[in-house]
């Protein structure tokens, strides 16, 4: 019986199969779109770069098309290059698809998208997920960027959007943008030159400038942009990438708002309310992509991996599980074996209960 049970267990153990995760086709399509978009941006950007003049002689085209520089005149904050690389994983778009579907969106729905220049990889993932799910995104951007984001003055996130729209990758891009950074005006870190460069980038991309005078006014100005398209209650989801101050309301809110899907934002003593709070109060689910590493770990994506992973690999696409049919058959066979053994040993058990040695019986 022991040998049979071990054999049946081994049979069940080796019968594992790969099972596709929900929305598999949408996830693969979104990830492939990210690859196409990065190829377009790379081909556009490389002729404009003097790679030999870069610090350390690094010539990785990915670094200088998607990651920008450590510091620049339009850099508004510090940042971790590990997060920026993690977000460049094309499969990050599959995680965004999963999160959006958890909000209950369906093809044709309008969603609000709030971006910054800090995480161009995550921005691409959102655009690609929206395309795969056939959503209608209404997009605003805080152009300023932290370290290693889209912080090249001549190649901001808005410039990337325009290149991708002209290449036919996406049919949408930001309709309004602000400077970003502290108070959504750059704060003390951004020089007058940096502010002028961002305003110039907004102007050359024919995007409406949100510059109302202070943070509260900028938040209301951003909300007004969304209201011009549709009432806040008509949006089926709002997705925020990064820590844009007008989006989340206050720097501390990045620690108070959980990363991931929030059907309703938790009730907290927020220092200030940002755009996503107003959407949440209107009953709109919020997808918060604040901590990139947390998103990666939640969906079993690699952190800061170069070269970038292959499209379609990982638990976000498929996972391994036991073959339930074989496992059920093995369980039934085990039960039958137990019954048979019990039947064959019934006399032994009966005599044992009567304290009679079966070997003494003729």
Q: Quick one: 257 and 127 in the same domain?
A: yes
Band of pLDDT at residue 119, cut at 50, 70 and 90: very high
Query: What pLDDT, on a 0 to 100 scale, did the predictor assign at position 327?
Result: 77
Query: What pLDDT, on a 0 to 100 scale, did the predictor assign at position 2?
Result: 84
- Per-residue pLDDT tens digits for 220-254: 999 999 999 999 999 999 999 999 999 999 999 99
Q: Quick one: 119 and 227 in the same domain?
A: yes
Q: Residue 56 pLDDT more than 50?
A: no
- Per-residue pLDDT tens digits for 79-97: 898 999 999 999 999 999 9
Q: How far apart, in Å, are the Cα atoms of 349 and each of 2, 5, 59, 218, 352? A: 19, 22, 79, 84, 5
Q: Quick one: 273 and 353 in the same domain?
A: no
> To which H or E segment does residue 142 belong?
strand 136-142
Give the C-alpha separation, 251 to 263, whole Å.
22
- Note whether 308 and 90 are within 8 A (CB): yes
Query: What pLDDT, on a 0 to 100 scale, did the predictor assign at position 187?
Result: 81
Q: Quick one: 355 and 277 in the same domain?
A: no
Query: What pLDDT, on a 0 to 100 scale, did the predictor assign at position 343?
Result: 77
- Per-residue pLDDT tens digits for 256-269: 999 999 999 999 99
Give the C-alpha separation, 62 to 49, whole Å.
12
- Name residue, tokens 């209107």: 282
Q: Residue 273 pLDDT more than 60?
A: yes
Number of separate domains in the chain? 2
Band of pLDDT at residue 173, cut at 50, 70 and 90: very high
Query: What pLDDT, on a 0 to 100 scale, did the predictor assign at position 58?
Result: 47
Which stretch, 98-102, 188-192, 349-353, has highest mean pLDDT?
Answer: 98-102
Q: Residue 311 pLDDT more than 70?
A: yes
Q: Residue 248's domain spans which residues?
A: 20-318
Residue 208, φ and ψ in degrees, nearest 5: -65, 130
- Closest-CA residue to 153 (of 119, 122, 196): 196
Give the C-alpha separation, 344 to 19, whole Å.
42
Q: Quick one: 229 and 313 in the same domain?
A: yes
Q: Quick one: 350 and 240 in the same domain?
A: no
- Per-residue pLDDT tens digits for 315-337: 888 866 667 777 788 788 888 88
Token duo for residue 168 = 């036919």
Query: What pLDDT, on a 0 to 100 scale, did the predictor assign at position 37?
Result: 96
Q: Quick one: 269 and 336 in the same domain?
A: no
* Mean pLDDT across the chain: 88
Residue 151, φ and ψ in degrees, nearest 5: -110, 20
- Closest-CA residue to 133 (of 279, 25, 229): 25
Torsion of CA 240, 79, 171, 102, to 10 degrees: -30
More confident residue, 121 or 332: 121
Tell me how crowded residue 30 is: count the other CB atoms within 10 A of its CB.
31
Last residue of a domain, one of 301, 318, 335: 318
More confident residue, 20 or 178: 178
Q: Quick one: 303 and 332 in the same domain?
A: no
Band of pLDDT at residue 353, cut at 50, 70 and 90: low
Query: What pLDDT, on a 0 to 100 scale, did the predictor assign at position 161?
Result: 97
More confident residue, 153 or 333: 153
Q: Residue 18 pLDDT more than 60?
A: yes
Query: What pLDDT, on a 0 to 100 scale, did the predictor assign at position 60?
Result: 61
Q: Quick one: 83 and 49 in the same domain?
A: yes
More confident residue, 51 or 238: 238
Q: Quick one: 53 and 145 in the same domain?
A: yes
More confident residue, 53 or 99: 99
- Strand bridging mode 75-77 / 145-146: parallel
Question: What's CA 251's distance to the chain center, in Å?
Answer: 20
Which stretch, 199-203, 209-213, 329-333, has highest mean pLDDT?
Answer: 199-203
Tell me how crowded residue 251 is: count the other CB atoms within 10 A of its CB.
13
Give the C-alpha separation, 147 to 74, whole Å.
10
Token duo for residue 26 = 């949408």
Q: Quick one: 128 and 163 in the same domain?
A: yes
Q: Quick one: 109 and 240 in the same domain?
A: yes
Give the C-alpha separation, 117 to 180, whole Å.
9
- Note whether 222 and 142 are within 8 A (CB): no
- Name residue, tokens 């977000």: 87
């Amino acid at each position: 019986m022991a040998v049979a049970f071990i054999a049946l267990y081994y049979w069940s153990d080796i019968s594992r199969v790969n099972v596709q995760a929900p929305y598999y086709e949408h996830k693969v399509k979104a990830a492939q779109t990210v690859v196409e978009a990065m190829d377009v941006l790379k081909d556009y950007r490389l002729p404009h770069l003097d790679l030999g003049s870069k610090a350390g002689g690094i010539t990785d085209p990915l670094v200088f098309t998607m990651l920008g520089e450590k510091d620049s005149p339009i850099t508004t904050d510090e940042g971790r290059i590990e997060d920026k690389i993690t977000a460049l994983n094309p499969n990050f778009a599959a995680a965004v698809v999963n999160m959006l579907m958890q909000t209950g969106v369906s093809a044709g729905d309008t969603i609000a998208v709030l971006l910054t220049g800090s995480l161009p990889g995550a921005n691409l993932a959102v655009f690609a997920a929206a395309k795969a799910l056939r959503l209608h995104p209404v997009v605003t951007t805080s152009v300023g960027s932290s370290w290693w984001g889209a912080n090249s003055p001549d190649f901001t996130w808005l410039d990337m959007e325009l290149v991708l729209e002209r290449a036919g990758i996406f049919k949408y891009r930001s309709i309004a943008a602000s400077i970003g950074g502290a108070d959504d005006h750059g704060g003390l870190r951004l020089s007058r030159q940096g502010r002028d460069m961002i305003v110039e980038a907004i102007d050359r991309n024919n995007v409406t400038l949100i510059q109302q005078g202070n943070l509260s006014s900028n938040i209301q100005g951003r909300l007004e942009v969304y209201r011009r398209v549709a009432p806040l209650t008509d949006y089926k989801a709002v997705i925020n990438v990064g820590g844009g101050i007008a989006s989340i309301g206050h720097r501390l809110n990045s620690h108070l708002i959980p990363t991931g899907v929030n059907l309703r934002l938790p009730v907290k003593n927020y220092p200030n309310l940002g755009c996503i709070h107003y959407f949440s109060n209107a009953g709109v689910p919020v997808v918060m992509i604040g901590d990139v590493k947390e998103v990666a770990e939640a969906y079993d994506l690699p952190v800061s991996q170069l070269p970038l992973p292959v499209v379609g690999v990982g638990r976000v696409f498929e996972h391994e599980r036991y073959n339930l049919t074989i496992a059920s058959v093995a369980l039934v066979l085990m039960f039958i074996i137990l019954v048979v053994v019990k039947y064959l040993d019934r006399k032994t058990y009966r005599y044992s209960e009567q304290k009679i040695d079966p070997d003494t019986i003729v």
